[in-house]
Each structure stands twice: as C-alpha cells, then as structure tokens.
Amino acid sequence: MNSTSTQARTPGYTGSIAIIGGLFFVFGFVTWLNGPLITFVKLAFNLDDVSAFLVPMAFYLSYFFLALPSARILRITGMKRGMSLGLLIMAVGAATFGEFATMRIYPGALTGLFVIGAGLALLQTAVNPYISILGPIESAAQRIAVMGICNKGAGILAPFVIGTLVLRGIDTFEARMQAAASPQARTTLLNAFAAHIQLPYLAMAAVLLVLAVVVVRSPLPEVRAAEANRLPAHRDSHAQDAHLSQFPHLWLGVLCLFLYVGVEVMAGDAIGTYGQGFHLPLDQTKFFTSLTLTAMLVGYLVGLIAIPRLISQHRYLGLSAVLGVVLVVCAYLTQGYVSVGFVAALGFANAMMWPAIFPLAIRGLGRLTEQGSALMIMGIAGGAVLPQLFAHLKEHFNFQLVFLLLMTPCYLYILYYSLHGHRVGLGDQRQMALADEPS
C-alpha cells in the first residue's frame, strides 16, 4: 500500500473506527442470540435438537445465498449506504421473527432469522473489507480485534438479556408443562412462553431502524478498495481483465473461514446443548454462550496488544489453531463442568482467527476486493453446516466423540492456512514473509 493512499484516509480515521465498532456491537448482539434461541424454540415449538438447530442453519445459510448479491448491491450503493440498507433489512427480519415466534409458526420464525441474516450479509460484506483497508493491511488484524471486542462484548450481553426477559424460570416452566392436565393447558402455557419474545425483538427492530438513519447521515468516508488493497507483485489485480481465479490464497481462505465459523458457532451456540449432554440444569446452560464469548473477549484483548508489534497475523493464527486442537482433546477427555470449561475456552483460541483470516485472504485483490470479500462472507455458512452435523450425529454416537471428530480437522486446516495456504499464488515467498513480519 502506498503512503499516499494511507495519508488520504487519515482524516476521520478514529471516528470511522468508532462508528464501525458500533455496527460490530449491533450485529454481535444479534448474531449471538442464536445460542439461547435454540433453547427457546426447542421449548416454544416443542422440537427435538435437530429441528431446534435449524435456527443457526437458517441464519447462517443466508450468508451463502446473499453475499454475492450483496457485493453487486454495494457497487451501486457504495459501502456507506449499503451498511444502512443492511440495517433496514435486519429490522424487517427482527420484526418478522418476533411476530411469527409469538404466533408459534416455526417456518415463519425461521424466515425472520433468514432475513436478519440477509441484512447482516450485506452489512458484513461492507464493513469487513472496509475496516481491513481503512489502514495498512498488515495491521488489519489489530483493527478487526477492536471490532471483535465490540462484537463479543455485545455477544456476552445477549444471552443475559434473552435469559432474563424470555427464558427466566425455564426449569420450572418444564415442570409446569409436565404437570399440565390437558393438551389445551399445555398449549396455553406454550403460547404465554412464546409471547415473551415479541417485545425484545420489536425493540431490536426499532433500534436497527434508528441506526440505519444514523449511519447514512454519518461522516464515514468512502474507501476505494481498488487503490487501497494492491500488492506490487499483483498490479494486474487493478486491470479490467483481472479475475479471482488468479488468487488461490483467496479460495483457500474462503474454506478456512467456512471451517472457522463452524467451530466458532459450535463453541458458542452449541455449548448449551453440549452441557445438556451432561444433564446440567437448563437455568445454567442458557448462559454458557456468554462464557465462550468472555473467553473470546480476552483473546481479542491479547491479540490487540500482540499483533503486529510482537507477532504477525499468520503466526498468531497458527498458534490459535494448535490451541484449538489441544482444548478440543481436553474437552473430550473430561466430563461435566470441566469439559464445558474447555469448550468455553475455545473462545480464546477462536478470537483472533477471523481478524487474521479475512485480511490474509483478501490481500492484494485490488478492484476485486468487494467480490473477494463477498466470497469470504459466503464462508460464514460454515455456521449452518457444522452445528447441524453435530445435532444429527449426536443422536447416534457419543456427543463428545462427535464434537472431537468435527472440530479437530477444522483446526488442522486452519493451521495449514496459517503456515502455507495464505501465501499460495502470491509470488515471491521471501518477499511476502518479510512483509508479514511485525515492525
């Protein structure tokens, strides 16, 4: 990146980071509601685990289907107005989910979650490359770590808000359901329980509408990816005939992000179900997502200090992947709260993976940055696939063994990407290694 383009983006740098940090707080809160929502829909709609895990599946599949259309929309609207549009779509989805959940119409509720995910797909397709190229790409992980602190700080709050407003007294609710004398009495209880979700989601929709107006009127500068994100070795990324097939490190990065989001959601959203496998009380398991996110928050703080002054992005990613494997094995070898503690600790290992993978994968794409970022956002669909596999397989095999066999290969691939995959196709390995070294 040349000094001219860096200087051009200096005005408003801190203010822009603050605004984008606010957006990361918003979609962190919305995203990490999925963990307690799995428990909510399982009770409110009287579902088994496989059906309840359609919550993250509907939510994360929207990224797969809508990330590329989001890139086309952003070329028309620009990043700033695209962010505002994403917030508007999320508001519609929140209101839709609240209404259908209250009516106990599960397909409609899933539709609302899909719409929320659609708005997030547009928002994330804009904000992730935006924050990555707002400053030097070599320190992008540090800026994304700040965003992660905002994101996971909100995520820690989300289970407590839903736990307090919607899932309060969940253990006694199950007892009342079992004691209900007739199907009509059980239906009445379920209707009253489901109705608790409407007001929080209507309030969320209102907040999202206000934020959409605030963002579009904010002083956020437009950042031109074509000028901000090029490597000297790949000046053809600025050419009109450039194609994403010229950048295999991107495609390897898409798979890496797919697997990373899968393990992140497993450690965050599925931890409650994991704890229930040990027959732990629902009044405790509903808060387990917050344990994972607290560990992630600590991981972001460490990464914020360490990258890039002490260690490069890709080296920290490799260490995180190794730690992930160790923690998964420890979770398998232990029982009860200790095992759950190791799963929650995966939040620390996972924390700096997105901040490292995303900028490494889009590095040097030039005018193709928006398209490459859209492909990366499609990789978020990993959050739909791995938890659903877990829900299915644990019906037939030991849930700890399933967790081990799903998670370990993912972390090993992430290790490969940190060691070699992020360099594939980028030319002179020695030059890239020197460029990656901390200053």
Q: What confidence tens digit (pLDDT) does each residue in 346-372 have? A: 999 999 898 889 888 988 887 787 788
Asked if pLDDT for residue 227 goes beyond 70, the answer is no
Task: Give the model's pLDDT for residue 233.
Answer: 46
Q: What global pTM score does this model have?
A: 0.80
* Choice between 325 and 307, residue whose per-residue pLDDT is larger: 325
Average pLDDT over residues 290-309: 87
Task: Give the model's pLDDT for residue 31.
Answer: 87
d(CA 205, CA 196): 16
Mean pLDDT of the residues in the chain: 85
332 burial class (0-12, 13-18, 19+ CB within 10 angstroms)?
Answer: middle
- The number of C-alpha atoms within 13 Å of 380 and in the hemisphere containing its C-beta is 27
Asked if pLDDT for residue 56 goes beyond 80, the answer is yes
User: What is the distance in angstroms between the CA of the first residue and the CA of the last residue of the chain?
Assistant: 15
pLDDT digits (tens, 9 = 90+) for 232-272: 544 444 445 568 888 999 999 999 999 999 999 999 999 99
Asked if pLDDT for residue 382 goes beyond 70, the answer is yes
Asked if pLDDT for residue 421 goes beyond 80, the answer is yes
Average pLDDT over residues 188-205: 92
Assigned CATH for 7-219+245-436: 1.20.1250.20
